[in-house]
Amino acid sequence: MKIQTRITELLGIRYPIIQGGMMWVGTAEMASAVSNAGGLGTLTALTQPTPEALVKEIARCREMTDQPFAVNLTLLPAVNPPPYAEYRQAIIESGIKIVETAGNKPHEHIEAFKQHGIIVIHKCTSVRHALSAQRIGADIISIDGFECAGHPGEDDIPGLILIPAAADQLTVPIVASGGFADGRGLVAALALGAEGINMGTRFCATQEAPIHSNIKQFYVDNDERATHLLYRQFRNTARVAKNAVSDLVVKMSEDPNLQFEQIRPYVSGLKGKLALENGDVDAGVLTAGQVMGLIHDIPTCQALIENIMQEAEQIVQQRLAQFFPR
């Protein structure tokens, strides 16, 4: 199926399907597989321990694909923040043409990327933040509905409302994110005003995802009810999979006087990384979206993207067409 949107044209990709930045998952193996399959793969900058390591990972990805790929730089509040400016410079000096930004106060980073002719995709969880990102130069807005894995924001607006609300006010193209796994989602996103989709959890359950097979099967076995929302009282909400660790944190969070330091040992990112590596689903917090209810297999990225496009074409040309007889 040939499909053309502003997203495919701007990014130089065959299909309007993006693999979003994912901590510990956005490596050269993952990004190159998606890009080789016609989508846009994304390296996650902070998965690499240093800016120098990121430069090497970008070079490694270029050895694995000759197709466009992006680098994600997520800006999160931290007691000891990583050297964002140095990671940004590593991205620029490596000649990357597409960057996905997310998080707080992206202004200086977006401006720096734009000065070097880099296409910026900024991920937002609200229309007001999307409009702000558009004003400071973002070329594409990735709008994250409440269904998404990771940080859905604090407004709790699902994609069915958030996507068209954003489309009503933005002039730059929109990528719909949160809850997408198949051709039905792609067609729905296009109908709601987006021009492509972003997938994270769905790409974790692929052959090429650099995580343990037990974790992939865990995503397949779960359903749409199998997530928790953590850190709500700290206004830093995160959607994660239900497991022994997140169950415990939810129970601890019933205490209205809970301090983050009390749960910090359980929610360490390094413990989540260990779980992804060794396959112990209860070793740490595992980021996952409600889309787990739509994941039923572990295909290659090539097969996944081809199936999405074939299903989308069938829906448009057959299922929808029957409702509008000529």
123 phi, psi to nearest 5 deg: -90, 130
Q: Which domains does the chain have, with CATH numbers?
A: 6-211+295-318 (3.20.20.70), 213-290 (no CATH)
Structural contact between residues 138 and 172, judged by C-beta atoms closer than 8 angstroms: yes
- Residue 35 reports pLDDT greater than 80: yes
pTM of the model: 0.97
pLDDT in tens, 80-90: 889 999 999 99
The stretch 285-298 carries a mean pLDDT of 98
- Residue 190 reports pLDDT greater than 80: yes
The stretch 179-186 carries a mean pLDDT of 98
Q: In what order do the strands lie in the sheet with 69-75?
A: 17-19, 197-199, 174-177, 140-144, 119-124, 98-103, 69-75, 41-44
Q: What is the pLDDT of residue 78?
A: 72
Find the range with the poorest average confidence among 102-106, 147-151, 256-260.
102-106
Average pLDDT, the chain: 96
Structural contact between residues 47 and 60, judged by C-beta atoms closer than 8 angstroms: no
pLDDT in tens, 218-254: 999 999 999 999 999 999 999 999 999 999 999 999 9
> Helices (DSSP H) in the chain: which residue ranges?
6-11, 28-36, 51-64, 84-93, 107-115, 127-135, 159-169, 183-192, 201-204, 213-221, 244-252, 260-267, 269-278, 301-314
- Residue 196, SS3? coil
Give a three-class secondary structure readout of 24-46. CCCCHHHHHHHHHCCCEEEEEHH
pLDDT in tens, 109-145: 999 999 999 999 999 999 999 999 999 999 999 999 9
Query: CA-to-CA distance for 24 and 241, rounded, in angstroms?
Result: 16
- Residue 180 reports pLDDT greater than 70: yes
Query: CA-to-CA distance for 301 and 279, rounded, in angstroms?
Result: 21
The overall longest dimension of the chain from CA atoms, in Å, is: 64
| Cα dihedral sign, 121-125-129-131 | positive
Query: CA-to-CA distance for 92 and 296, rounded, in angstroms?
Result: 39
